[in-house]
Each structure stands twice: as C-alpha cells, then as structure tokens.
Chains A and B, each alone.
Chain A
Amino acid sequence: DAKTTQPPSMDCAEGRAANLPCNHSTISGNEYVYWYRQIHSQGPQYIIHGLKNNETNEMASLIITEDRKSSTLILPHATLRDTAVYYCIVSNNNNDMRFGAGTRLTVKP
C-alpha cells in the first residue's frame, strides 16, 4: 500500500524554483519524510529528510505542513541536471524504504 501520493510528472523552467508536492495523510508520529531522486539508469540519490520542522541543505528545502499530512520539496534554482524522478518516502526507522512511482520532473531550457 502506497503511503505517499505524488503527481506523476511536472515541468519546470530552468532557473526557476521547482516545487514538488507529496501527500502522506496517514503518516504516524514517529515517521520521517525522506526525499530521493533517481536520474536515469543510476541509483537513487539522497536529497533531504525531516520529521516536522522545515529543513534546508545545499540541495533543497523541505517544507512540512503543521499537520504533517503533506510536504513540498523545493529546488530553488532548477537546472537541466535536476531532471529526474523524485521519490517521497515516509519511514519510521530508515529500515523500511518503500518507493512509490515518484514524480518525473523535467527541467526545460
């Protein structure tokens, strides 16, 4: 059973912010939200994760709603190299990473 719901695809203009939504309405109190991305024919790349507070690192920002039922991954200045499938995963102990279908982000020039 999918724990998260993501749009199947999104487009973004190069240089603009890419905002990728994720719904996780059944998330439990001890579950974290993880984001990974997979560029074609490569292993998934870790991006960011959080519990309830917003998080930011050199790659992206993660905004989690107050009720924790949804989150948004923000790539502040998308480049062509950010074209990938982005996966939102909820997990309580990092041992149970279940990948859904993800969102295919296409960054266009």
Chain B
Amino acid sequence: GAVVSQHPSWVICKSGTSVKIECRSLDFQATTMFWYRQFPKQSLMLMATSNEGSKATYEQGVEKDKFLINHASLTLSTLTVTSAHPEDSSFYICSARYGAASTDTQYFGPGTRLTVL
C-alpha cells in the first residue's frame, strides 16, 4: 500500500529557533501533499496544500511566512516552522495524494510532535 513517512517523529526546540519537518511518499509519487496541525484533544486542521514545483496554498489564518513549505520533488515536502514559539507546539501531520483521479485517496504520515520550550 501507499506509505508516507515523516521525520523527525518528535522534536524539542528552544523558542526562537526554526524546525524543519520532512514528509516523504515512500512507494509512490505525490504531486500534491498536505500539512495538518492537531492540538491536544482536537481534530486535525488543514494548514496548507503543497503542489510539486509551485507555491503552497495556505488556509485562512495560517501565516505563510512562519510555516514555510517546500515541495521540490514528487516524493518530498518539507514544513519549516520559523522562529518557533511555545504556542506552535503541536502534532504536525502530512498526507500525500495517491493517484490523480478524483477517487484517489490521501495517505497520512505518522506525525511529528513539536515541543517548543
């Protein structure tokens, strides 16, 4: 089946530093990847849609200059949280769209837990 990985699985950083999270589709090419954020006891919130070779599309209320997304290849998208602060602590999850037809499915990575001290 379609497998999506994320690295790292967890990260702790100091306030003011930047953190990069990688999302890879391991056995398929993904022209579109998605980034979600999940706070404790809440549901997933879509942050942005990442298309290979073009700029990401951010959801309303998500700061594009704070959450930098790069989708440079068909198997890799990265999310960089710049100048992280404690309120950015969250569970970040990526997904990749498998296939090109409207009936195809998103497969999710295992998530990255970010803790900003």
Please list the residues of chain A having a beta carbon within 8 angstroms of any beta carbon in chain B: 30, 32, 34, 36, 38, 41-46, 49, 51, 87, 92-102
Tell me if A99 and B44 are in contact (CB < 8 A). Answer: yes
B108 near A94 (CB under 8 angstroms)? no
In the complex, chain B residues whose CB is within 8 Å of the CB of A46:
105-108
User: Do A43 and B109 contact each other (CB < 8 Å), given the known contacts A99-B44, A100-B43?
Assistant: yes
Nearest CB on A from B8, distance (A) = 14
Would you call A32 and B109 a contact (CB within 8 A)? no
Of A34, A36, A41, A100, the residue contacting B91 (CB under 8 A) is: A41
Interface size on B, residues (CB 8 A): 25
Which of B43, B102, B106 is A101 in contact with, Cβ under 8 Å? B43
| A42-B43 contact given A34-B105, A95-B49, CB 8 Å threshold | no
> Chain A: interface secondary structure?
loop
Q: Max chain B CB contacts within 10 Å: which of A34, A46, A93? A: A46
Instruction: Say yes or no: A42 contacts B110, CB within 8 Å.
Output: yes
A-B CB contact pairs (8 Å), 15 listed: A32-B102, A42-B111, A43-B4, A43-B6, A44-B44, A49-B103, A49-B105, A94-B97, A94-B103, A94-B106, A95-B97, A97-B46, A99-B45, A100-B43, A101-B43
